[in-house]
C-alpha cells in the first residue's frame, strides 16, 4: 500500500457514500456565503481586502482585477457599476450559473448534451483573455477597461 493510497482512500470512500447533490449544494452555499460577505464588506473602500497579487507584483491589471468590486455592485443590483469594474466577470458569472444548473440537472437524470470544447474554442477563449488583459492595461486606448 502506497502513501498516496493511504491518503486518498479514506476521502474517496467518504465521497462515495455522500449523496450526489452534496457537491453542487456545497458549491451553491459557498457561492452564496462569499457573495453575501462581499455584498456586506465594501471592496471599494481600501483596507478591507488584500491587493491583487498580480497588480502588487507587476503593476498591471490581471483579468480578475476589479472582480470583487463587480460582484459587490452586482449584489447591489448596479449592473453599470459592475461593468465598469470588470466586464469579463459580468460576462462570466451567468455562464457559471448556467453550468451549475446543467450540473444539477445532470444529477437529477435530465439528459444534457455535453461535448468537450473544440480546440479552436479553447484557443479563442485564451486569446480573448490575453487581449482583454493587454487592452485593460493601455490607459490611452482603453481607459474604460481599467477597474
Residue-wise pLDDT for 75-103, tens only, equals 999 999 999 999 999 999 998 999 899 88
More confident residue, 15 or 42: 42
pLDDT in tens, 45-61: 888 888 888 888 998 99
Backbone φ and ψ of 63, nearest 5°? -65, -20
Number of domains in the chain: 1
Which among 87, 75, 82, 5 has a CA at the least distance from the CA of 33? 75
Label residue 10 by pLDDT band (50, 70, 90): low
Alpha helices in 18-118 (DSSP H): 22-40, 53-58, 67-75, 79-85, 87-107
Sign of CA dihedral 132, 134, 119, 99: negative
Which among 87, 82, 83, 55 has a CA at the least distance from the CA of 71? 82
pLDDT in tens, 127-147: 999 999 998 888 887 777 877
State residue 5's pLDDT score. 56
CA distances from 61 to 50, 58, 133 (A): 14, 8, 7
Write out the residue range of the structural domain in which residue 132 sits.
Answer: 3-145
pLDDT in tens, 98-133: 989 988 988 888 877 767 778 898 899 999 999 999
Amino acid at each position: 500500500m502506497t502513501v498516496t493510497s493511504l491518503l486518498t482512500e479514506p476521502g474517496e470512500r467518504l465521497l462515495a457514500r455522500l449523496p450526489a447533490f452534496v457537491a453542487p449544494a456545497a458549491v451553491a452555499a459557498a457561492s452564496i456565503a462569499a457573495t453575501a460577505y462581499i455584498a456586506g464588506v465594501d471592496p471599494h473602500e481600501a483596507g478591507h481586502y488584500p491587493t491583487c497579487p498580480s497588480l502588487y507584483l507587476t503593476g498591471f491589471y490581471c483579468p480578475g482585477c476589479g472582480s470583487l468590486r463587480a460582484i459587490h455592485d452586482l449584489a447591489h443590483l448596479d449592473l453599470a457599476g459592475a461593468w465598469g469594474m470588470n466586464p469579463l466577470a459580468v460576462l462570466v458569472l451567468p455562464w457559471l450559473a448556467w453550468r451549475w444548473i446543467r450540473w444539477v440537472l445532470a444529477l437529477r437524470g435530465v439528459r444534457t448534451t455535453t461535448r468537450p470544447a473544440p480546440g479552436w474554442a479553447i484557443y479563442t477563449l485564451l486569446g480573448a483573455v490575453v487581449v482583454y488583459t493587454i487592452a485593460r492595461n493601455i490607459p490611452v486606448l482603453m481607459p474604460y477597461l481599467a477597474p
